[in-house]
Amino acid sequence: MTLPIRTARLIIRRFAYSDIDDLVALTRHESVARETANIPREDRGKLMNYIDTQAGYSLFEANQCVDLAVELKESGCVIGLLSLVSDGERQGEIGWGFSIDHRAQGLATEAARALITHAFTECNYHRIFAGTPLTNERSWKLMERLGMRKEAHFVKAHAPENPDGAWIDTVRYAILADEWDG
Ligand SMILES: CC(C)(COP(=O)(O)OP(=O)(O)OC[C@H]1O[C@@H](n2cnc3c(N)ncnc32)[C@H](O)[C@@H]1OP(=O)(O)O)[C@@H](O)C(=O)NCCC(=O)NCCS
């Protein structure tokens, strides 16, 4: 795996200690916080350990959430993150979270497209999939923008930790290496 990955506006790379303030700000927002339970919150020591642990993972690390920083070239700040969880057998689940100030500009699409291309061309992945609650329209629209295929709609299949504990629908999308046109 060769990181960083460079796109027109972004650099996708490992997190560094110097990103801690950006990472704290990013994961403070509730919409990103609920997707990044594996990332310590405000504790700098724990964040340094997390960054060290992440640095030891490959993009094939089986059953581990491998998080990558998305840096905006223009500012040098980390404005989002991508995650990849491999099953160790050439399939992986991709995830994403971007700062509220950097949404609706196509940045998540640009970053995810680059990581999927990298996974297929450099890492020999066979299939990338993603899932989200049906209510997270921004996330499944991103999957569709990327050209992922809708594979499933699970009815009342998940009970998030919300106050009413209501069961919600979820959707699953995927794309095969053979189908990917970048
Ligand atoms: C999911 C998430 C990453 C999607 O972010 P996003 O801003 O909608 O996605 P993008 O950055 O690709 O921006 C796409 C939007 O920018 C617009 N856009 C502007 N310039 C663009 C460009 N150059 N290229 C592509 N799209 C562009 C698109 O039209 C689209 O807008 P629309 O949805 O109104 O049609 C974001 O909502 C997020 O971080 N949510 C919180 C975390 C989360 O829920 N993660 C998923 C858990 S399952």
Contact 62, 91 (CB under 8 A): no
Alpha carbon of 136 to ligand 1 centroid (Å): 11
Q: pLDDT-based confidence at 2, cuts 50/70/90? A: confident
- Ligand 1 binding pocket mutation candidate from 10, 32, 139 (most atoms within 8 A of CB): 139
What pLDDT does residue 160 have?
Answer: 77
Q: Find the CATH number of the domain harbouring 121.
A: 3.40.630.30
- Which residue carries 């629209």 as its tokens? 141
Which amino acid residue places its CA nearest to atom 42 of ligand 1? 97
CB 132 less than 6 A from any atom of ligand 1: yes
The total number of structural domains that make up the chain: 1
Listed in sequence order, the residues at least 6 apart from 106 whose beta carbon sits closer than 8 Å to its beta carbon are none
The whole domain housing 162 covers: 5-179
Give the position, in ligand 1's atom list, of the atom nearest the Cα of 132. 48
Q: Which of 46, 55, 42 is nearest to 16 (CA)?
A: 55
With both helix axes pointing from N to C terminus, report the angle between 44-55 and 20-28 in degrees, rounded to the nearest 10: 100
What pLDDT does residue 165 have?
Answer: 79
Does residue 103 carry a pLDDT above 80? yes
- Ligand 1 binding pocket mutation candidate from 34, 65, 98 (most atoms within 8 A of CB): 98
Alpha carbon of 172 to ligand 1 centroid (Å): 17
CB 117 less than 6 A from any atom of ligand 1: no
Structure confidence by residue, pLDDT tens digits, 19-56? 999 999 999 999 999 889 999 998 999 999 999 999 99
Q: pLDDT-based confidence at 17, cuts 50/70/90? A: very high
What pLDDT does residue 1 have?
Answer: 56
Residue 165: both structure tokens together? 């504990």
Structure confidence by residue, pLDDT tens digits, 109-164? 999 999 999 999 999 999 999 999 999 999 999 999 999 999 999 999 988 777 77
Amino acid, single-letter form, for residue 119? A
Alpha carbon of 158 to ligand 1 centroid (Å): 24
Q: Which of 96, 87, 76, 99 is nearest to 146 (CA)?
A: 96
Listed in sequence order, the residues at least 6 apart from 182 whose beta carbon sits closer than 8 Å to its beta carbon are 113, 117
